Amino acid sequence: MKLTGKKENFDEFLFKVDELGYAINDLLPASWTLNLSESTNKLSELLSDSHLKIKQKTVTSTDSVAIQIKTSLQDTELQVSASSDVTLESENQLEYVLNWWQWQINCQLALIAEISNVFETTEEYEVS
């Protein structure tokens, strides 16, 4: 994970996203993958209420051996963002194509969980 933006706001951003993680756990049912439309709407509402925006970009390698999903979470108030990349090797590409929507949400939740982990464990993070 990489943090960018106003360094003086990093700690507040980490705390805010950690709290968001708890809200997501409370609002999304354990079976969230069974109703992706409703889960996406709930996640979008939570992010919007917190002044957070998710951006994702999917890139396929030129040899089509891997797919890279770049996910970033931006706080428009604090002017801080966090980003991470997930690379799927060729054996997961078919699964990715079949479950595209679920992969997108999984990457969003994984980034939020990674930010929470940094906040709760004071784990090191990359700054740029």
**Mean confidence (pLDDT) of the chain:** 85
Where does residue 39 rank: exposed (0-12), middle (13-18), buried (19+ CB within 10 A)? buried
**What pLDDT is attached to residue 128?**
59
pLDDT in tens, 28-43: 877 777 788 888 888 9
**What pLDDT is attached to residue 9?**
94
Determine contact, residues 66/90, Cβ cutoff 8 Å: yes
Task: For residues 13 and 30, give the distance between their C-alpha atoms in angstroms, rounded to a whole number.
Answer: 26
- Residue 126 pLDDT exceeds 70: no
- Residue 48 pLDDT exceeds 80: yes
Confidence of residue 58 (pLDDT cuts 50, 70, 90): confident
